[in-house]
């Protein structure tokens, strides 16, 4: 099982690890621990590099494979690629600029979700993100320009309030005693999960979540609702953008 370091500390940019598995035919490497986020919950996977024996390998994709985190090594041209041997020690470097932008974006979407749930009681029906951009769908019957402007003002007030963001891992039974922990229309947590990771924006929002986040809402910066659309009778989409 790969230890997912970023689940306990999203700010770790580099790490050392040992190679557990090498799938040479597919250029895949499994490590005993990693700070690369494998994607999920609407947040894309991380990119970066692995350094071993003075060779720098580009990590182009990261994904879950059972209990392991698999690192896809990029191959360019016809140059022979020397994958590390099982048991070798590697140093990983996360593409920090991209990761931090995703952290800010993910927390921004939780701020948006928290405000909409608190003030309008609307559930989330979907969402996605890329660095500095994201969208979230809510169960709104109607969404007008005036309401969108009101929501934008409220989310930016929460940004400026400097709320702490706290991550915890709770036993499943304890986590599900928390009211409204699951904000999505469908509970996406599989039955087999015994421990639930929660992300709390203190005083605003508390959700089950597996992604990476900033430690304080001020780090998010100004949130602009760039667009809004109707995706059905009671399904409305809000697009957000953040400053670089």
Delimit the domains of the chain by residue range.
3-94, 99-242
Query: Residue 82's pLDDT is what?
Result: 82
Same CATH topology for 3-94 and 99-242: the answer is: no
Q: Tell me the average pLDDT of the chain.
A: 91
Query: Residue 170's pLDDT is what?
Result: 82
Q: What is the mean pLDDT of residues 171-193?
A: 63
188: pLDDT strictly greater than 60: no
Q: What is the C-alpha to C-alpha distance for residues 73 and 48, in angstroms, rounded to an integer?
A: 10
Q: What is the mean pLDDT of residues 7-33?
A: 96
Q: Percent of the chain, pLDDT > 70?
A: 92
45, 63 in Cβ contact below 8 A? yes
37, 45 in Cβ contact below 8 A? yes
Alpha carbon distance, N-terminus to C-terminus of the chain: 36
Helix, coil or strand: residue 85: coil
136, 120 in Cβ contact below 8 A? no
30, 71 in Cβ contact below 8 A? yes
Helix and strand numbers (H, E) in the chain are 3, 15
Q: What is the mean pLDDT of residues 78-89?
A: 81
Q: Please say whether the structural domain 99-242 has been given the CATH code 3.30.980.10.
A: yes
5: pLDDT strictly greater than 70: yes
114: pLDDT strictly greater than 80: yes
Task: Please name the fold of domain 3-94.
Answer: Elongation Factor Tu (Ef-tu); domain 3 (2.40.30)
132: pLDDT strictly greater than 90: yes
* Neighbour-count burial of 172, counting CB atoms closer than 10 A to its CB (0-12 exposed, 13-18 middle, 19+ buried): middle
64: pLDDT strictly greater than 60: yes
Q: Percent of the chain, pLDDT > 90?
A: 74
């Amino acid at each position: 099982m790969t230890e997912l370091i970023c689940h306990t500390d999203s700010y770790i940019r580099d790490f050392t690890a040992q190679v557990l598995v090498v799938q040479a035919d597919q250029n895949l490497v499994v490590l005993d621990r990693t700070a690369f986020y494998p994607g999920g919950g609407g947040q894309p996977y991380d990119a970066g590099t692995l350094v071993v024996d003075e060779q720098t390998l580009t990590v182009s994709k990261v994904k879950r494979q059972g209990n392991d985190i698999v690192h896809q090594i990029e191959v360019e041209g016809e140059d022979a690629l020397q994958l590390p041997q099982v048991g070798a020690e590697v140093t990983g470097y996360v593409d920090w600029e991209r990761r931090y932008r995703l952290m800010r974006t993910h927390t921004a979407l939780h701020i948006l979700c928290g405000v909409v749930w608190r003030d309008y009681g609307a559930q989330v029906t979907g969402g996605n993100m890329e660095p500095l951009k994201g969208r979230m769908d809510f169960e709104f019957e109607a969404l007008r320009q005036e309401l969108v402007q009101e929501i934008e003002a409220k989310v930016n007030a929460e940004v400026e309030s400097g709320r702490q963001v706290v991550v915890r891992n709770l036993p499943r039974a304890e986590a599900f005693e928390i009211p409204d922990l699951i904000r999505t229309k469908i509970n996406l947590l599989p039955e087999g999960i015994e421990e639930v990771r929660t992300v709390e924006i203190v005083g605003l929002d508390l959700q089950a979540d597996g992604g990476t986040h900033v430690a304080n809402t001020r780090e998010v910066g100004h949130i602009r609702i760039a667009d809004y659309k109707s995706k059905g009778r009671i399904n409305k989409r809000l697009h957000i953008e953040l400053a670089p």
